[in-house]
Structure 1
Amino acid sequence: MTDYLANASDDIMGQRIFFSVGEPSGDLHAANLIQCLKRIDPSTRVRGFGGSKMIQAGLDLDFDLTSMAVVGITEVLPKLREFFRIADIAEGCFKRGEVDGVVLVDFPGFNWHIAKRAKKYGLPVFYYLPPQLWAWGGWRVKKMKRYVDRVFCNLPFEKEWFEDRGVSTTYVGHPFFDSIANTPLDSKFIARWRDSGRLQVAVLPGSREHEVHRIWPMQLQIIRQLAHEFPEVEFLAATLKDSHALWCQSQLSASDQGLPIHIFSSKTSEILELCDCTLMKSGSVSLEVMARGKPAAVMYHVSDMTYAIGKMLVKCQYMSLPNLMAQAPLMPEFLSHGAIHSRSSRRSIEAITQEMVKLLGDPQYRQLQRQRLRELASLTAKSGATQTVAQNILTDLQPRLELRRRNRLEMTPVDANPVDANPFGGNAADSRRAKAA
């Protein structure tokens, strides 16, 4: 951890906020929130669990939780012991009085434990990008009510749902629209690929490594069929990380070398801006697809166990966010489970291919889908969520900050020895022990 001792006399007077973020998309939104918090109050200090984007925004990292992003029962069980060890790191910070409040972003299976431990020490807890309890596992709202002080919800209907169940909730909109509005596109990249004069399909295999490993082989089968039927079409694949792009490239066989496939990392927005339609794994990027008005076929693949449990628990009709917001299948969805060569996967690949053939071969259908998405975007794609959340968090934590400032002013010169201070509370020895944990 960063050595703050030289600046402790100044930094200790700002808010000290702990973040717990376990998803790559959450890393992006939390990074934007951290930047906004620091713009409003530069003395704000943040630490906790997150990823590379949060570190760049100013997070003092305790553990890179995004490296452990998992989905489904079968993926979680092998890592349970490690998750509890990480939660113990957070509790140590809470116990030593090193933070003033806790911000949770998505990742509910783990973050419930962080919320419970934070409340054990009387810390305010905020949930940003809350779990979709209205879709499945509605009984978990009792945990939300018990352990979370305020929920910042992102979908229009969520506020009423949470408040009807006694949860303090503020509707702020979705931060993905802030990211779209605030991130400039690579104009040179767009100019380079726009000149191709061909129909272009964006291919999005997901943001987690295990998702890419499941989805890309299925997408590759679809691409092979489409390339045969539409030789004038080219496919631009967008991955989150360089390692994902390299893995996707490695899966191309010798017979694939003539396929018009181009794989890039960190160019998702540019590729979506260019494309005529999208073949994508379900995820929050569907909001950007909607905002840019790009017709899409959405695919989702899970293990057999996750599928069986989901059939019993999931109550909502759709899985992609634009469809949930519209309560209509603006983006046709295709769910499969089991091995890539399972009957379910084969059926899904066939159905997705048919939908993509329709999008590529019927300009009127493609335009209709584009128009429906743009109509929804005009109602929902509003920026400003991140600023609203930051202002609310700092306002809610202000009484605790004022109390800490008063207590510091009342301290004796011996108590206020700056050599032993650190910006998250406790003393230097405690800080070193926290780092070692």
Structure 2
Amino acid sequence: MKYYIIAGEASGDLHGSNLMKSIFNEDPNAEIHFWGGDLMQKTGGTLVKHYRDLAFMGFIEVVMNLKTILNNLKICKKDIQKFQPDVLIFIDYPGFNMRIAKWAKTLGIPTHYYISPQIWAWKENRINAIKRDVDKMYVILPFEKDFYEKKHNYPVEFVGHPLIDAIQNRIKTDEATFKKENNLSDKPIIALLPGSRKQEITKMLNEMLSVVNDFKDYQFVIAGAPSQEYDFYKPFLKDKNVNFISNKTYDLLSVSHAALVTSGTATLETALFKVPEVVLYKGSNISYQIAKRIITLKYISLVNLIMDAPVVTELIQDECNKENIKKELQKILEENHRNKVLEDFKELEEKLGGSGASRKTAKLIVESLKK
């Protein structure tokens, strides 16, 4: 059978690659076209467009890149019509994917959504479009099932969180080997995860680097995103006592003592590696002011949202400054506070429903097509 998958970000590339592996296991003759990244490309199938050409964050940024986005929609529709898939599989990335879903329904192509748009955070009225345009929804957060089924009378499948699989299935490295291979010292590591998009890296990395000289007993290591070249990071590294390692975020987290993390999927990844963290976010002022008025959530990090408690500290916009980052980083380096956070992280993992999300989702998709 023919599968068309659309993932628009680094996290979608990761989950898309694992889903593809599971689809190939369920359907060895599968043909797959996809929008994604390097991980999906290594798995097989045909890459149509890389996510580095798709990811625009913030309201103003989207408006500025509207021509590019509209052109990408046109390219996508043309390629789908040419490929004639048996199913369309969307991975998050709702601004783009929901437009394709609406169009695909008019052609009678089955539409499946893996990793729900976060309509519980904002744009809840998208539920109407989801009910109309999405045939099957697979959710990965425990509270999403109640949100869809009890609040909106829309049946979904809770498959567990794919990050658990991604972390469990990786090839592990030991700390001494990792430090030696990457020319690191014996000092404990504080990981810096500034994000994957150029806009957010530019904003967040300077804030993170502002505290480097205040923690002499630790070494700071920047996790370089696979979608960005080293040359992009070079200006940030000048005259800074900091290390840089590209495309090894999981290896880095597995040997880290603490982390500063830009809000997003990485906050959950860091928690699942049992690394105490401070969550940071700073956007353009206009985008932030708009978001503040339409997003009513108590928290911005997935860790706190799932636990429904302030397990990790969130420093947002004006609070994201050197003084606060230094204070909160010192806290998670103190033994008592660390131990409390680590206990909360164990409970978090239990709430996520165990492993097998990609396998369960692939099985459900293939079975539905056979029917």
Please classify the TM superposition score into its range, dividing by the shorter chain length.
over 0.9
| Mapped partners of 2:368, 2:227: distance in 1 | 40
Question: Partner residue of 2:322?
Answer: 349
What is the alpha-carbon distance in structure 1 between the residues aligned to residue 58 and residue 350 of structure 2? 34
Corresponding residue number in structure 2 for 1:107: 93
Match of 1:125 in 2: 111
Q: Secondary structure at the match of 2:192?
A: strand
| Structure 1 residues 186-214: Cα deviation after superposition (integer angstroms, max 9, x where no partner) | 34643638994433211111122222111
Structure 2: tracts of 5 or more residues without a match: none
Q: Distance in 2 between matches of 1:21 and 1:195?
A: 34
User: Which residue does 2:189 correspond to in 1?
Assistant: 200
1:304 aligns to what?
Answer: 285
Is 1:152 matched with 2:124? no
TM-score computed with the length of structure 2 as normaliser: 0.93
Aligned residue number for residue 57 of structure 2? 71
Which of residues 66, 74, 86 is equivalent to 1:88?
Answer: 74
Which residue is 2:157 aligned to?
170
Any idea what SS the aligned residue of 2:211 has? helix
1:391 matched to which residue of 2? 363
Task: Tell me the residue number matched to 1:38.
Answer: 24
DSSP 3-state at the match of 1:325: helix
The answer (yes or no) to whether the contact 1:204–1:280 under 8 Å persists in 2 is: yes
Contact 1:22 1:68 in 2 (8 A): yes
Residue aligning to 1:368: 340
Counterpart in the other structure of 2:221: 236
Deviation at 1:244, TM superposition (A): 4.8
Q: Distance in 1 between matches of 2:251 and 2:33?
A: 32
Residue 251 of structure 1 aligns with an amino acid whose one-letter code is F
Give the whole-Å Cα distance in 2 for the aligned partners of 1:311 and 1:42. 47
* Shift in CA distance, 63/198, structure 1 to aligned 2, threshold 3 Å: closer
2:237 counterpart SS class: coil
Structure 2 Cα separation of the partners of residues 329 and 221 of structure 1: 24
Distance in 2, Cα, partners of 1:367 & 1:194: 29
The count of corresponding residues between Structure 1 and Structure 2 is: 368
Asked if 2 retains the 8 angstrom alpha-carbon contact of 1:292 and 1:374, the reply is no
Shift of 1:34: 0.9
Contact 1:279 1:298 in 2 (8 A): yes
For 1:76 and 1:60, the matched residues in 2 are separated by 27
| Cα distance, 1:132–1:123 mapped onto 2, change above 3 Å | same
Secondary structure at the counterpart of residue 152 of structure 1: strand
Partners of 1:250 and 1:270 lie apart in 2 by: 24
Alignment of 1:188-227 (within 5 A): 189-190=177-178, 192=180, 196-224=185-213, 226-227=214-215
Instruction: Give per-residue Cα distances to partners, 1:247-303, cap 9 Å, x unaligned.
Output: 33432343x3xx2x2110122112212111111111212222112211110001111
Offset, 1:129:
1.2
Aligned equivalents of 1:369, 1:43: Cα separation in 2: 46
- Of the structure 1 ranges 55-64 and 318-327, higher mean CA displacement relative to structure 2 is found in 55-64
Question: What corresponds to 1:293 in structure 2?
Answer: 274
- Shift in CA distance, 189/393, structure 1 to aligned 2, threshold 3 Å: same
Contact 2:185–2:219 (CA under 8 A) maintained in structure 1: no
Query: Structure 1 CA distance, aligned partners of 2:233 and 2:79?
Result: 40
Q: Which amino acid aligns with 1:119?
A: K
The root-mean-square deviation of aligned C-alpha atoms, in Å, is: 2.1
State how far apart, in whole Å, the 2-side matches of 1:315 and 1:42 are. Answer: 44
SS at the partner of 2:265? Answer: coil
Q: Write the distance in 2 (CA, Å) between the matches of 1:97 and 1:240.
A: 31
Is the alpha carbon distance of 1:246 and 1:88 closer, same or farther for their aligned partners in structure 2, counting shifts above 3 Å?
closer
Among 281, 294, 299, the alignment partner of 1:313 is 294
Aligned equivalent of 1:252: 237
Partner of 1:59: 45
2:310 corresponds to: 329
Please give the secondary structure, in 1, of the residue aligned with 2:210: helix
CA distance in 1 between counterparts of 2:68 and 2:184 reads: 49
Whole-Å separation in 1 of the counterparts to 2:80 and 2:338: 53
Rate the CA distance shift 1:379–1:37 in 2: closer, same or farther, 3 A. same
